[in-house]
Amino acid sequence: MALHLFNSLTRRIEEFVPIDPARVGPDGRPYVGLYCCGPTVYDYGHIGNFRTFVFADVVRRHLGFRGYSVRTVMNITDVEDKIIRRVRETGRPLREFTRVFEDAFLEDLKTLNCHPGETPRATEHIGEIIALIQKLEQRGLAYATADGSVWFSIDKYQGCGCRYGVLKSIDFTQMRPGERVAADEYEKEAAADFALWKARVPEDGDVSWDSPWGPGRPGWHIECSAMSMALLGPSFDLHLGGEDLAFPHHEDEIAQSEGAALQKDGRPFVKYWLHGAHLLVEGKKMSKTLGNFFTLRDLRSKGFSGREVRQLLLSAHYRETFNFTLEGLAGARSALTRIDECVDKLTQLAGNQSGGADAALVGAFTEAMDNDLNVARAWGIVFDWVRETNRQLAAGSLSPAQAASALAAWHQVDSVLGLGPRPVAEIPPSLLALAQERVSAKRARDFARADQIREQVKAAGWIIDDTPSGPRLKPIAP
């Protein structure tokens, strides 16, 4: 079966065929361009944001696994209404303010083993943004108002035979042509002209750029149209984001990008639109006042690893709302331990043997993921495999060569899941010293002291494993 994905544009699961099937990437494999709306860097990312970014990372990994050469772009929105408000409140320069959260975001992605690809900043693409707005003006789809703002005319866009409301149906009976909305985020289903360029107002402080319409700053929607087309061209394969972005952000992106008519041969701006469902926490929308708001850093400070958070965020299908709980995170920890222990035993048994990947696991996993990234099914396959492998290991019925093939298969599966190997915990030097002291105690036949040390080390979360080559310290499995 070929890869199939749910396309929000057609509201159907469709076979994935690149928009330009003849094009190849630098490695000679079929080329795919993928854009994911990145963060607005005004605060630390919360785990809802990261659900969307982990989803995007799995799409990228699965495409790579299925043989595509994927060019990935994730923008950094570093100028927008919320940012300006915070810059004003903190009195810090824009760049200094956003850089803190941008750096934190990239570090958090690393913690989660996500690779964002190229990460263009909106403030470094003002030239392209202005050029795109000018193009829309030339085509009669954008108009400036006396204050020096520029707006996208939905009425004119529709007059050109284009459809506004392809991702979401819009109630045009309420539409009054020329009615405008200035905010970057606005009411659902509002059919109102939206801002492409916002004239500078005193509250903007230093945050403004010169433009043909006077000083101002770009609207949020045009930033993504300009950056995605600048890096991936006017037509590309996949555009991702959380479901809340479908309207107005993505609808506006389509209108601006297709309104500029840079696409060739009747191609669309984007062939496949994928939207990740939201994350709820303890059944509710995350909010600071409800006290159910978690950043990745909050979870790290509670002792959870990025790997555990990734596993949990990936445990449900991306189009289903997922309810996050701390118990769920504890469950992710034990799920990972089960996998890690099985992989450890396979590694020991395989020794230095190598082998081709076991086709059964890889085949079943691929089929599940090809079906619109059916991770629930994929995890079921992984845990059935762990159970069966453990049974065979216990029965002594696996040869080293078979263990090597099983491991090779697991590594292929994990190239998509992106869990990576169990992190090697660093052994505190004080415990290493105690382990050495225990060796001396045993030599001196002071077994009481040796036992005491074992208990002391255990209380610190480690087990002493006596091997022929000396003691080895292993962290106690959580």
- Give the binding site for Zn ion (CB under 5 A): 37, 224
Distance of closest approach, residue 234 Cβ to ligand AMP, in angstroms: 22
Q: Is 369 in the site for ligand AMP (CB under 6 A)?
A: no
Q: Which of 7, 49, 75, 211 binds ligand AMP (CB under 6 A)?
A: 49
Distance of closest approach, residue 249 Cβ to Zn ion, in angstroms: 5
- Cβ atoms 326, 281 nearer than 8 A: no
Distance of closest approach, residue 46 Cβ to ligand AMP, in angstroms: 7
- Cβ atoms 192, 180 nearer than 8 A: yes
- Per-residue binding letters, 274-313, with ligand AMP (x by CB under 6 A): --x-xx------x---------------------------
Distance of closest approach, residue 228 Cβ to ligand AMP, in angstroms: 14
Q: What is the rounded CA–CA span in Å between residue 27 and residue 29?
A: 6
Residue whose CB is less far from Zn ion, 194 or 365? 194
By a kind-dependent CB cut-off of 5 to 8 A, residue 23 interacts, out of Zn ion, ligand AMP, none, with: none
Residue whose CB is less far from ligand AMP, 66 or 250? 250
Q: What is the rounded CA–CA span in Å between residue 62 and residue 74?
A: 17
Rounded to an integer, what is the distance from CA 473 to the centroid of its chain? Answer: 35
Tokens 């409140």 belong to 89
Residue whose CB is less far from Zn ion, 224 or 435? 224
- Per-residue binding letters, 52-71, with ligand AMP (x by CB under 6 A): x-------------------
Instruction: Please identify, among the stretches 47-55, 141-149, 334-342, 437-445, the one whose residues bind ligand AMP according to the rule CB under 6 A.
Output: 47-55
Q: Is 317 in the site for ligand AMP (CB under 6 A)?
A: no
User: What is the CA angle 169-170-176, rounded to 5?
Assistant: 165
By a kind-dependent CB cut-off of 5 to 8 A, residue 224 interacts, out of Zn ion, ligand AMP, none, with: Zn ion
Distance of closest approach, residue 56 Cβ to ligand AMP, in angstroms: 8
Distance of closest approach, residue 244 Cβ to ligand AMP, in angstroms: 5
Q: How many residues bind ligand AMP (CB under 6 A)?
A: 15
Instruction: Decide the pairing of beta strands 4-7 and 180-181.
Output: unpaired
Instruction: Please identify, among the stretches 242-250, 395-403, 408-416, 464-472, the one whose residues bind ligand AMP according to the rule CB under 6 A.
Output: 242-250
Residue whose CB is less far from ligand AMP, 250 or 438? 250
By a kind-dependent CB cut-off of 5 to 8 A, residue 54 interacts, out of Zn ion, ligand AMP, none, with: none
Residue whose CB is less far from ligand AMP, 52 or 228? 52
SS (H, E, C) the chain: CCCEEEECCCCEEEECCCCCCCCECCCCCEEEEEEECCCECCCCCEHHHHHHHHHHHHHHHHHHHCCCEEEEEECEECCCHHHHHHHHHHCCCHHHHHHHHHHHHHHHHHHCCCCCCECCEHHHCHHHHHHHHHHHHHCCCEEECCCCCEEECHHHHHHCCCCCCCCCCCCHHHCCCCCEECCCCCCCCCCCEEEEEEECCHHHCCCCECCCCCCEEECHHHHHHHHHHHHHCCCEEEEEEEHHHHHHHHHHHHHHHHHCCCCCCCCCCEEEEEEECCEEECCECCCCCCCCCCEHHHHHHCCCCHHHHHHHHCCCCCCCCEEECHHHHHHHHHHHHHHHHHHHHHHHHHCCCCCCCCHHHHHHHHHHHHECCCHHHHHHHHHHHHHHHHHHHHHCCCCHHHHHHHHHHHHHHHHHHCCCCCCCCCCCHHHHHHHHHHHHHHHCCCHHHHHHHHHHHHHCCEEEEEECCEEEEEECCC
Q: Which of 5, 6, 51, 198 binds ligand AMP (CB under 6 A)?
A: 51
By a kind-dependent CB cut-off of 5 to 8 A, residue 250 interacts, out of Zn ion, ligand AMP, none, with: none
Q: Is 76 in the site for ligand AMP (CB under 6 A)?
A: no
By a kind-dependent CB cut-off of 5 to 8 A, residue 270 interacts, out of Zn ion, ligand AMP, none, with: none
Q: Which of 5, 245, 339, 419 binds ligand AMP (CB under 6 A)?
A: 245
Residue whose CB is less far from Zn ion, 116 or 471? 116
Instruction: Please identify, among the stretches 10-18, 240-248, 358-366, 441-449, the one whose residues bind ligand AMP according to the rule CB under 6 A.
Output: 240-248
Instruction: Please identify, among the stretches 173-181, 241-249, 259-267, 306-314, the one whose residues bind ligand AMP according to the rule CB under 6 A.
Output: 241-249
Q: What is the rounded CA–CA span in Å between residue 18 and residue 235?
A: 11
Q: Is 228 in the site for ligand AMP (CB under 6 A)?
A: no
Distance of closest approach, residue 361 Cβ to ligand AMP, in angstroms: 30
What phi and psi values does residue 7 have, to the nearest 5 degrees? -100, 115
By a kind-dependent CB cut-off of 5 to 8 A, residue 339 interacts, out of ligand AMP, Zn ion, none, with: none
By a kind-dependent CB cut-off of 5 to 8 A, residue 51 interacts, out of Zn ion, ligand AMP, none, with: ligand AMP
Q: What is the rounded CA–CA span in Å between residue 231 and residue 128?
A: 11
| Closest residue by beta carbon to ligand AMP | 242
Residue whose CB is less far from ligand AMP, 67 or 291? 291
Q: Which residues bind ligand AMP (CB under 6 A)?
A: 37, 39-40, 48-49, 51-52, 241-242, 244-245, 276, 278-279, 286
